[in-house]
Amino acid sequence: MQADIITIGDEILIGQIIDTNSAWIAARLGEVGIPIRRKYSIGDRREEILDAVGGSMLHSELTIITGGLGPTKDDITKKVLAELFSSPLVRHEDTYNRVERMMAARGIEFNALNQSQALVPECCTVLTNHKGTAPGMWFEKDGRVVVSLPGVPFEMEALMSESVLPKLQEHFALEAVVHRTLITYGMAESMLAEHIASWEEALPSHIRLAYLPSPSQLRLRLSAYNVDRERAEQEIDKQFERLLPLLGDIFVGWEDETVQSAVAKMLIKRGETLSAAESCTGGTISAKFTAMSGASEYYWGGVVSYDNSVKENVLGVSRHNLDTYGAVSEQVARQMAEGVRRLCGTTYGIATTGIAGPTGGTPDKPVGTVWMAVATPTKTIAKVVQHGKIRAVNIERAATAAINLLRLELQKMDDEK
Amino acid sequence: MQADIITIGDEILIGQIIDTNSAWIAARLGEVGIPIRRKYSIGDRREEILDAVGGSMLHSELTIITGGLGPTKDDITKKVLAELFSSPLVRHEDTYNRVERMMAARGIEFNALNQSQALVPECCTVLTNHKGTAPGMWFEKDGRVVVSLPGVPFEMEALMSESVLPKLQEHFALEAVVHRTLITYGMAESMLAEHIASWEEALPSHIRLAYLPSPSQLRLRLSAYNVDRERAEQEIDKQFERLLPLLGDIFVGWEDETVQSAVAKMLIKRGETLSAAESCTGGTISAKFTAMSGASEYYWGGVVSYDNSVKENVLGVSRHNLDTYGAVSEQVARQMAEGVRRLCGTTYGIATTGIAGPTGGTPDKPVGTVWMAVATPTKTIAKVVQHGKIRAVNIERAATAAINLLRLELQKMDDEK
């Protein structure tokens, strides 16, 4: 059992809009145990639609199509599906009445274009769209299922959740698939792969490992197919349990955890607060914490001390240190972290100062050099990292590395208890 | 002449990440006049890759592949391409040396996995990836071109711009296309389209207009196809000249201009400086300015005053105003802008305070309410905006709206001179 997803529409094909529908559909199908064979994007052209849908039906038991169902001339999906299934377009009375009511409520004329939304191929089962005019359509032929849905994301999502997924589970009597994702930070993919090679080789054949890199974290996903859900969950848990001792403090958490959300959880649990003093990261650390709803519980704010005068006058960094060691130095990073902690009255202060690039590097301190510090009630720790030459990447990596320095410190305190 | 785009990788296929690469590539190919026939997403499986790439080569002169080039076992694209083109994997010395240097600079061991990044099918032309380890590869066979690129967006984008697009223009002797893009901020697409309808109708038939929406700006692109480059550039300039008076202050600039880069240019020209006090935008305004190289010339820093204690103790917002009007109020926004301007000693101060959501709204101040202010040497102005319910969108929009408030004020001063 496998599925294809086809998005129809010139806007997606030519790159004017980014397709988010197919990722959403793939994730939902994955959750009910239907693997995706292929996703396509094609334009509003008859031959392309016939070729893609017909080709998909040769390989996959299920084809889900989105888009191309609008009332205007360029939307031809319905007409082409009628042709493909050799079934005439007929008026669907419930849809006709629903669209008529919808137009009346919006004060829009119920003209021929809108009336055409109620035409569907005679052979299909109509799936009622409560959020828009274009109905969903369910086709069956030679053991294959083809589902056509509107491209408007919230209409498509409602139809999938309310109609399509329940019908699929019933129609295909689906088996279980289980995924679980573990988040790591601090070791490159190639090193980690080598480090855990013997663990990976010992995985049973029905459990698969995937490395999922993202800009600042590395995710490891285990998937078990065609097995009893409960047993699979236990097996995956057992495998990850064996992995954890190999990971040590590069283990951050599970599923959607990030370095900053892990820190947030620890701070909330401890009833403690944080502030940040940022030079080269320029507000990115603050933005990462405040992007999470509920940040006000532990994140009080911070200072972006981009200019040295702000480091000196607002954070209390000494002119002596700035002159002697330079703005990018351990001494200044420490004073920044201590300064923002004192200024904001928080439990911890975190600081970064570095050379984001592409200019400003020196032989001693090349582009990508970042000093970071964490001030706690009892001590201040500092660390230097050396990243690359690309400004945006340096900023992103330095921000996460500084937050991770605090994460390690909090974890150490927890371990010592 | 047409092209297919294939993204390889289970992450995109199963919907764990959203594919933005194929939209970017499609847009770039469209700009040089290559229409897209079809986009595919497939998983890291040999049969699928052979079938998709082979199938694409039957229909399209050009196939662009992204992803599946990582050093770990699940990434098999290179091996399958070697098989498809019947060409053995050999070590590419330049790449080997480049990756070795890259690993050394990052302090990462140059192990067998990383060394394997330098293996490429013998028949391909290597495209140097200056931003990552996986090289780009250019294949030619039976008049078809297949290009394989890494899936990391900034690596792919650099390779496309620096290597692939110039090579395509040469290889396929593409006709000239001239594009010029005008940036606007502050008017919705449907309103703008109505506002400039008569200008659009008067465009000559060989010049085409496209609306390119992005989260916080609306771009208008004029394109001229199959024409003499110099004449086309002059014609497009003339058309835009006629448009500018209709746009007034929603005109921000040309090509890659943003609201913040326009402000940066004006501040540098005037020799003036800026700081920001951010509550609901939590560092995003600072991050937008400091993301631009050279920000230290005019951007001195700021305060993220997420907690009221920071508003009061660091920025000098009065307890009376916080208690009487609330943190999200005109009075507090004004005091924040004036406070950060004074604290940092800059020419201007900019401030935001609002309810980013999803919780925290009240009947008076629903989620999405944001007060913003700009303090200048002579006065302080304030404005309230009302956005939607989604936290990330509210933060992004409020940050840009606040920066735009300063842009309009700077422009007014310029106009009055």
DSSP string, A114-145: HHGGGEEETTSEEE--SSSSSPEEEEEETTEE
- At the fourth CATH level, the homologous superfamily of domain B263-416 is CinA-like (3.90.950.20)
* Among A4, A7, A16, A39, the residue to mutate for chain B (most B Cβ within 10 A): A39
Q: With CB atoms and an 8 Å threshold, state whether A15 touches B38.
A: no
Going through B52-189 in order, the beta strands assigned E by DSSP cover 62-66, 89-91, 119-121, 125-127, 136-141, 144-149, 177-184
Closest-CA residue in chain A for B279?
A301
Q: Given CB atoms, is A190 within the 8 Å cutoff of chain B? A: yes
Compute how many other C-beta atoms are within 10 angstroms of the C-beta atom of residue A313: 14
Q: With CB atoms and an 8 Å threshold, state whether B13 touches A39.
A: yes
What is the pLDDT at residue B416? 87
Q: What is the pLDDT of residues B77-128, one digit of tens each?
A: 999 999 999 999 999 999 999 999 999 988 888 888 889 999 999 999 999 9
- Cβ contacts of A157 on chain B, cutoff 8 Å: none
Record the tokens describing residue A68, joined without a space.
Answer: 């191309």
pLDDT along chain B (417 residues), means of 10: 94 86 93 91 94 95 95 87 96 95 88 91 96 95 96 94 95 85 89 90 90 79 80 93 96 95 98 98 97 96 96 97 97 98 98 94 92 98 89 92 98 89
What is the pLDDT at residue B215? 65
Closest-CA residue in chain B for A33?
B14
Which residues 115-144 of A are in CB contact (within 8 Å) with B?
none
pLDDT along chain A (417 residues), means of 10: 93 85 91 89 93 95 94 84 96 95 83 89 96 93 96 92 93 82 92 94 90 82 80 93 96 95 98 98 97 96 96 97 97 98 98 94 93 98 91 94 98 89
Q: With CB atoms and an 8 Å threshold, state whether A23 touches B43.
A: no
Which CATH code fits A3-172?
3.40.980.10
Q: What is the pLDDT of residues B335-357, one digit of tens each?
A: 999 999 999 999 999 999 999 99
Core vs surface per residue A82-118: b (16+ CB within 10 A) or e: bbbbebebeebeebbebbeebbeeeeeeeeeebebbb
Look at residues B144, B12, B32 and name the one whose alpha carbon lies nearest to residue B84.
B144
Contact A136, A148 (CB under 8 A): yes
- Cβ contacts of B359 on chain A, cutoff 8 Å: 293-294
Closest-CA residue in chain B for A386?
B106
Record the tokens describing residue B112, joined without a space.
Answer: 């067998």
Domain ranges for chain B, please list them: 3-171, 177-254, 263-416
As assigned by CATH, the class of the B177-254 domain is alpha beta
Q: Given CB atoms, is A44 within the 8 Å cutoff of chain B? A: no
Which CATH code fits A178-254?
3.30.70.2860
Q: With CB atoms and an 8 Å threshold, state whether B303 touches A307.
A: no
Topology match between the domains B3-171 and B263-416: no
Q: With CB atoms and an 8 Å threshold, state whether A25 touches B17.
A: no
What is the pLDDT at residue B312? 97
Instruction: Give the Å distances, CA to CA, from B29 to A44, B58, B174, B186, B386.
Output: 19, 19, 11, 29, 38
For residue A150, the SS3 value is: coil
HSE on the CB side for A34, CA within 13 Å? 28
Contact A206, A155 (CB under 8 A): no
What is the pLDDT at residue B227? 67
The ipTM of this complex is 0.79
- Cβ contacts of B23 on chain A, cutoff 8 Å: 12, 15-19
Quick one: CATH architecture of A259-416? Alpha-Beta Complex (3.90)
For chain B, counts of helices (H) and of strands (E): 17, 17
Taking phi over 0 as left and psi of -120 to 50 as alpha, with beta for the rest, B5 belongs to: beta
Q: Given CB atoms, is A108 within the 8 Å cutoff of chain B? A: no
Q: What is the pLDDT of residues B282-319, one digit of tens each?
A: 999 999 999 999 999 999 999 999 999 999 999 999 99
Residues 6+ apart with CB under 8 A from A287: B281, B282, B283, B284, B287, B395
- Cβ contacts of B4 on chain A, cutoff 8 Å: none
As assigned by CATH, the class of the B3-171 domain is alpha beta
